[in-house]
Amino acid sequence: MTKNMGSMDKTIRIVIAAIVATLYFTGAVSGTLGIVLLVLAGVFVLTSLVSFCPLYAPLGINTCKRS
C-alpha cells in the first residue's frame, strides 16, 4: 500500500471520529444510526493510522505532500 493521506487529512479524520464517539457515548446519537456512525468513525481511525484510504486509490486522490 502506498500512502495517500496527508497529515491534515489524518487529523481531520481523527477529530471527526472523536466527535462521533463522544456523541455516541453521551447518548446524543443512538440506535442504528449511532452504530453506523461509530463503525464509520472506526474506519476513519484505522485509515488514519495506516495513512491509506482505499476509496482514494480508484479516484486518484493523494493528499500526501510530495518530496
Domain spans, the chain: 7-59
The rounded average pLDDT for each run of 10 residues, N- to C-terminus, in the chain (67 residues) is: 91 97 96 97 96 92 82
Of the chain, the end-to-end C-alpha distance in Å amounts to 18
Residues 6+ apart with CB under 8 A from 3: 51, 52, 64
Q: How far is CA 65 from the centre of its chain?
A: 19
In this prediction, residue 15 carries a pLDDT of 98
Is 38 in contact with 21 (CB distance < 8 Å)?
Answer: yes
